[in-house]
């Protein structure tokens, strides 16, 4: 979990009317001429699903062709990734990948059946967002100090929820416990929405969750936010402490999502999609809707996205080694 830098370049240009610029590939020039499926490896309602649906809506409007979200939750996105790996590389089966699936699972799960940059084609980064350290409104912990003091003095006395083993908020929770000297037990769920349910009920002590998940619950007075794990003062809620600045220098938990296709996807189709994703995610309408969900555009070229995955994977592998974290299945 490192600071994720903004990506800026755009790889190709598509006319705003939805008609493509001339292409040497006749098949790509007609793309898409039927509905496109986008796998999401997490349950509906979570941050990856929310941004995927915004992107699908924008692409549907741009291309005048349906982009349909298909949720395939399981194993922190591994199920969806394995399905994408087997898909025909024709541009009609894609995936919104999360950093947990692309840079964390390969570092922590020995039985992983895919390699991101071998089995997938990076198309475009899409969005990023900060996690928040959250507790139930019913919790006895009101501040960072309350939580950490208890965790340090009670062996195995705390639990934290996540979207599943190897997910971004699993790694964030493990890193947080290590950095603070606490002893906390990980409780995995099939997505952020499921973890939220038990957090609200105070059945788990804390979790790192996205603003799109927790802010409505804060407004409903069911959740309390203790701190932000944002990498930048410009991203996230402004009125709460930032862990990496105020308490744990260098600590950030700021997941990202990106669009990928199966290996062998024709380059013309990749470029068409990259330009379209960049256009959609930087449009004023989508930017405003993202901001309301506490998400932020994260756009760039195909090559920059591939390099980002490569660098994040290396940084995550170093952190996983420091934490001595492995997942058997």
Long-range CB contact pairs, 229-236, < 8 A, 24+: 229/1, 229/130, 229/131, 229/132, 229/133, 229/172, 229/253, 229/254, 230/130, 230/254, 231/3, 231/4, 231/130, 232/3, 235/128, 235/129, 235/130, 235/296, 236/129, 236/130, 236/132, 236/211, 236/294
Nearest CA-CA partner of 41 in 258, 187, 244, 195: 258
Neighbours of 134 (CB within 10 A): 29
pLDDT at 110 over 60: yes
Do the beta carbons of residue 42 and residue 33 sit within 8 Å?
A: no
- If pLDDT is split at 50, 70 and 90, which confidence band does 201 have? very high
Say what the pLDDT of residue 23 is. Answer: 37
Provide the edge-to-edge strand list for the sheet that holds 223-228: 184-188, 158-162, 206-210, 131-136, 223-228
Per-domain residue ranges of the chain: 26-129+256-323, 131-247
- 327 beta partners: 109
3 state DSSP class of 296? strand
Mean pLDDT of 19-25: 36
Whether 26-129+256-323 and 131-247 share one fold: the answer is yes
Compute the distance between CA of residue 313 and CA of residue 317 in angstroms, rounded to an integer: 6
Torsion region of 117: left, alpha or beta (phi above 0 gives left; psi -120 to 50 gives alpha): alpha
pLDDT at 5 over 60: no
Compute the distance between CA of residue 59 and CA of residue 9 in angstroms, rounded to an integer: 19
pLDDT tens for 141-158 read 999 999 999 999 987 789
Q: Which tokens belong to 49? A: 């699903």
Mean pLDDT of 241-259: 92
Burial of residue 44 (number of CB atoms within 10 Å: 0-12, 13-18, 19+): middle
Say what the pLDDT of residue 22 is. Answer: 35
Mean pLDDT of 165-183: 92
Say what the pLDDT of residue 233 is. Answer: 78
Burial of residue 45 (number of CB atoms within 10 Å: 0-12, 13-18, 19+): middle
Say what the pLDDT of residue 28 is. Answer: 66
Say what the pLDDT of residue 7 is. Answer: 27
Q: Which residues contact 30 (CB under 8 A, 6 or more apart)?
A: none
Compute the distance between CA of residue 85 and CA of residue 119 in angstroms, rounded to an integer: 6
Compute the distance between CA of residue 238 and CA of residue 301 in angstroms, rounded to an integer: 30
Residue 324 DSSP one-character state: T
Mean pLDDT of 35-55: 93
Mean pLDDT of 153-169: 88
Superfamily of the domain at 131-247: Periplasmic binding protein-like II (3.40.190.10)
Omega prior to 32 cis, within 30 of 0: yes
CATH topology of domain 26-129+256-323: D-Maltodextrin-Binding Protein; domain 2 (3.40.190)
What is the separation, in whole angstroms, between the first and last Cα of the chain? Answer: 22
Torsion region of 238: left, alpha or beta (phi above 0 gives left; psi -120 to 50 gives alpha): alpha
Q: Which tokens belong to 77? A: 């996105």
Say what the pLDDT of residue 328 is. Answer: 67
- If pLDDT is split at 50, 70 and 90, which confidence band does 329 have? low
pLDDT at 19 over 90: no
Question: At 65, phi and psi to the nearest 5?
Answer: -145, 145
pLDDT at 200 over 70: yes
């Amino acid at each position: 979990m490192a600071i994720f830098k903004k990506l800026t370049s755009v790889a190709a240009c598509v006319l705003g009317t939805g008609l493509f610029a001339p292409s040497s590939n006749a098949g790509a020039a007609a793309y898409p001429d039927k509905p496109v499926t986008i796998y999401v490896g997490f349950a509906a309602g979570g941050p990856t699903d929310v941004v995927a649906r915004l992107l699908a809506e924008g692409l549907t409007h741009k291309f005048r062709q349906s982009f349909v979200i298909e949720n395939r939750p399981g194993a922190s996105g591994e199920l969806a990734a394995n399905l994408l790996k087997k898909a025909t590389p024709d541009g009609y089966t894609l995936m919104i990948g999360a950093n947990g699936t692309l840079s964390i699972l390969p570092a922590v799960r020995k039985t992983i059946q895919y390699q991101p940059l071998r089995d997938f084609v990076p198309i475009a980064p899409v969005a990023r967002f900060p996690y928040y350290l959250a507790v139930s409104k019913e919790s006895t912990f009101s501040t960072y100090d309350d939580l950490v003091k208890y965790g340090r003095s009670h062996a195995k006395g705390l639990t934290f929820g996540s979207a599943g083993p190897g997910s971004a908020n699993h790694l964030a929770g493990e890193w947080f416990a290590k950095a603070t000297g606490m002893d906390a037990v990980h409780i995995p769920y099939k997505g952020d929405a499921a973890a939220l349910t038990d957090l609200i009920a105070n059945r788990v002590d804390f979790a790192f969750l996205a603003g799109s998940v927790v802010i409505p619950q804060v407004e409903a007075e069911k959740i309390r936010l203790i701190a932000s794990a944002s990498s930048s003062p410009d991203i996230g809620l402004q009125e709460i402490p930032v862990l990496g600045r105020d308490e744990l220098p260098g600590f950030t938990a700021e997941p990202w999502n990106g669009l990928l296709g199966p290996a062998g996807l024709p380059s013309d189709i990749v470029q068409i999609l990259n330009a379209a994703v960049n256009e959609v995610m930087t449009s004023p309408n989508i930017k405003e809707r993202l901001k309301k969900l506490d998400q932020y555009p994260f756009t760039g070229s195909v090559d920059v996205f591939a390099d980002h995955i490569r660098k994040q994977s290396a940084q995550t592998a170093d952190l996983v080694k420091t934490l001595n974290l492995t997942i058997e299945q």
